[in-house]
Amino acid sequence: MSLIVFGLNHKSAPIAIREKLAHLNEMTIPDADGYTLEVVPLCTCNRVELYYSGPERDARASFIELLARKNLKYDNLKEYFYEFKEKDCVKHIFSVASGLDSMILGENQILHQIKNSYKEAVSKNLVNKQLHSLFQKTLEVGKKVRSQTEISENHVSIASTAVDLAKNLFGPLNSSKALILGAGEMASLVALHLHQNGVEKMFFINRTESKAKDLAKNFGGIAFSYDYLNEFLADCDIIISSTSSAEAIISKEMMQKAINQRKDRPIFAIDIAVPRDIEPECREIENVFLYDVDDLKNVVNESLSHRRSEAKKAEVIVYNEVNEFMDIMREQLVVPHIKKLKERAKQQCSSELGKFFSEHPDMTPELKEACEEYSRQIAAKWLHEQITSLKEQGAIRSDNLEEISLNLDLNPVKVSKYLKHSPMFFAAKQQRRGTA
C-alpha cells in the first residue's frame, strides 16, 4: 500500500483556480478499477488536497475521475497540482499540521480543519489502518509543534489580518459599522477581532438565520436574513464575507448601487470565501477596497519574524517525527511477511527433523531432544538474518514484500547436514560404537 497526496494550495495556484475545486470534499469519492481506496480530502480556503492509501495507479485514476465530476480535466490543471509519495507525503501533511505550509505561518486553524476532515472521512468509511495511523500521528505532531515552539504566538491569522487591513483604511474602528456574511468558524473569528478592536455595531447575515442569531448574540450584534443584504451593503463601512456559497452573492451591480448611496464614503470589503462571495469586478468601482484571501499574503504582520525563527525548531520536530513514523510504517508492512516466513521455517524444520529421526531410529529420547533444541537454534539464527534482510528490502520497495518473502532461500533450514556433523551427534555415534 502506498501513501500519496494530490493537491494544490495558495503557493501553487491562484484563487481563480482554487475556487474551481471548492467543495471537492463534499463529493462522493470514486473507487478506481474496483479497488477501494483509503482517502481523506482536506479542503480549506487555501488548499485542496486528497490523501490516498492504495496503489498509486488507482489513486491517480480516482483523483482524475473526481475532477471530471466537476467538469475539470486534470491535464488542463496539472501545472497547478503537486503530488507527494510515501515519505514526502508524510512530511507534507506533518508540515501542514504544524502551520509551516500555511499562508499565515503558524496559524492554528489548519489543525482543527485537519481534525474535522479526518473525522468526516472516517464517518464515510473512507479510512482504514494506514490513513488512521497517518492522521492520528499528524494531529499529534501538530500539537507537539505548538507546545514545544512559539510558532503560533501573537495571534496572527487570516481573520486578524483582515481586521488589520480595515484599521489601515479607517484608523480606529470604534465608529465603524461591520457586516459579516456567514456564520461559520471564520466568521466567528472575524467578529471576535472586530469586537476586540472596538467595533460595536455588527450585523450578521447567513442563509440559516438561526445561526446568524447565535453568532450575533455572542457579540451584541443583530442578525438579519438575506432579504436585507442590499440595505446593509449601503449602510456598513466594513464587509467581511465567509460563506460556503458555490456562487458569488454580491455582484458588481449590487456594490455599485451601495456605493452610490454612500456619497463618497468608502466600503472596505474582505472576501475570505473560496469560491469568492464578492465578484472580483467590484474592484473596478471607485471607493470600493476589495481584498481576497490571496491579497492577504501581502499583509504580513511584523510579529511573523519571531515565528520564522520558531519555524526552524518546528522543522526539526517534523523531520524527526517523519523518520520515526516511516520506521513504524516499514515495521508494520513487513510484520505479516515475517509471520509467514517464521511459519514456513517452522514447518521446514519439523519436516527435516522427522526425516532425520526416521533415518536414525536408534536415537535416545535425550539425543532427540538435544537435536530439536539444536535445530531451533539454527533456525532462529537464520531467521534473524533473513528478517533483517527483509526489513531492509522492505524499506526500499514496500510493494513487493510478498514476492521477496516467498523467494527467500530456505535451504539453511534443512538442518539434517548440521545435525549429522554436530558434536552431540558425533559423541552419540562414538558411544554406540563403544557399547558395541
Cell numbers 539444536 correspond to what residue? Answer: 374
> Which one is catalytic: 43, 45, 349, 371?
45
Cis peptide before 55 (omega within 30 of 0): no
Name residue 40's amino acid.
V
Active site residue 45: yes
Please compute, for residue 204, the number of CA atoms within 13 A of its CA located in the half-sphere on the CB side: 28
- The conformation of residue 69, written as its DSSP 8-state character, comes to T
Neighbours of 312 (CB within 10 A): 10
Q: In what order do the strands lie in the sheet with 47-54?
A: 38-43, 47-54, 2-9, 82-85
Q: Where are the beta strands (DSSP E) in 206-293?
A: 222-224, 238-241, 267-271, 288-292
- The conformation of residue 156, written as its DSSP 8-state character, comes to -
Tell me how far apart the alpha carbons of residues 390 and 401 are, in angstroms, rounded to a whole number.
Answer: 8
Handedness of CA 80, 86, 91, 97 (dihedral sign): positive
Please say whether the beta carbons of 43 and 25 come within 8 A: yes
Cα distances from 293 to residues 76, 92, 152, 250, 275, in angstroms, run: 24, 22, 19, 16, 11
Question: Which grid coordinates belong to 312?
Answer: 526552524
Please say whether the beta carbons of 21 and 276 come within 8 A: no
| Pick from 90, 114, 85, 87: nearest CA to 102 | 114
Helices (H), 34-128: 56-68, 74-77, 86-97, 109-123
Please say whether the beta carbons of 114 and 95 come within 8 A: no
Cα distances from 37 to residues 57, 105, 237, 295, 403, in angstroms, run: 11, 32, 49, 37, 22
Cell numbers 516511516 correspond to what residue? Answer: 326
The gap between the terminal CA atoms of the chain, to the nearest Å, is: 63
Describe the crossing of helices 304-359 and 129-148 by its angle, rounded to 10 degrees.
140
Q: How many helices (H) does the chain have, and how many strands (E)?
A: 16, 10
Q: What residues are labeled active site?
A: 45
